[in-house]
Amino acid sequence: MNAATAHNSPGAGMPGVITAADATHMSLNSSLISANLAAYTILVLAAFQWLLIFVSHCVLQRRYVQRRPFVDRPIDDYPGVTIIRPVKGVDHGMQRTLESSFRQEYPGPVEILFAVEDPDDLAIEVVSNIIARYPKAQARVLIGKDNVGINPKVNNMLKAFDQAQNDLLWICDSNVYTDPGTLRRSADLLLDNKRLGVIHHVVFSESPTSFAGMLDNAFLVTNHCRMYLAINAFGIASCLMGKSNLYYKSALDNVGGIASFGQYLAEDNMIGQALWHSGWAHTMTGDLARQPADIGSFSEYCSRRIRWVRTRKYNVTFATFYEPLTESILLGSLTSWALGHIFGLSIVATFTTFMSCWFALDMIFFYRINHGSPPSWLWFVLSWLCREALALPLWVVAITGDTVVWRGQRFQFYLNGTVKVL
| Distance, CA of 311 to CA of 266 (rounded, Å) | 7
pLDDT tens-digit series, residues 74-132: 999 999 999 999 999 998 889 999 999 999 999 999 999 999 999 999 999 999 999 99
Beta bridge partners of 110: 81
Angle between helices 211-218 and 298-313 (to 10 degrees): 30
**Max CA distance (Å), the chain:** 104
The dihedral region occupied by 170, where left means phi > 0, alpha psi between -120 and 50, and beta the remainder, is beta
pLDDT at 248: 97
pLDDT at 237: 85
Beta carbons within 8 Å of 73's beta carbon, 6+ residues apart: 188, 191
| Distance, CA of 283 to CA of 265 (rounded, Å) | 23
Assessment of whether the complete model's pTM goes beyond 0.85: yes
pLDDT at 114: 98
Closest CA to 355 of 332, 377, 334: 332
pLDDT at 5: 44
Beta bridge partners of 365: none
pLDDT at 28: 63
> How far, CA to CA in Å, does 354 sit from each of 40, 220, 338, 361?
17, 21, 13, 11
pLDDT at 405: 84
Let me know if 122 is exposed, middle or buried by CB neighbors in 10 A (0-12, 13-18, 19+): exposed
**Per-residue confidence of the chain (422 residues) as pLDDT tens digits?**
444 444 444 444 455 556 666 666 666 667 778 899 999 999 999 999 999 999 999 999 999 998 889 999 999 999 999 999 999 999 888 999 999 999 999 999 999 999 999 999 999 999 999 999 999 999 999 999 899 999 999 999 999 999 999 999 999 999 999 999 999 999 999 999 999 999 999 999 998 989 999 999 999 999 999 999 999 999 888 899 989 999 999 999 999 999 999 999 889 999 999 999 999 999 999 999 999 988 889 999 999 999 999 988 888 889 999 999 999 999 999 999 999 999 999 999 999 999 999 999 999 999 999 989 998 999 999 999 999 999 999 999 999 998 988 777 888 888 877 888 88
| Distance, CA of 171 to CA of 377 (rounded, Å) | 34
Q: Is 192 a catalytic residue?
A: no
Closest CA to 196 of 273, 281, 254, 253: 281
Per annotation, catalytic residue among 146, 216, 268, 294: 268
Beta carbons within 8 Å of 206's beta carbon, 6+ residues apart: 217, 290, 291, 292, 293, 370
H helix count then E strand count, the chain: 15, 10
| Distance, CA of 393 to CA of 168 (rounded, Å) | 42
Q: How far apart are the first and last CA of the chain?
A: 67
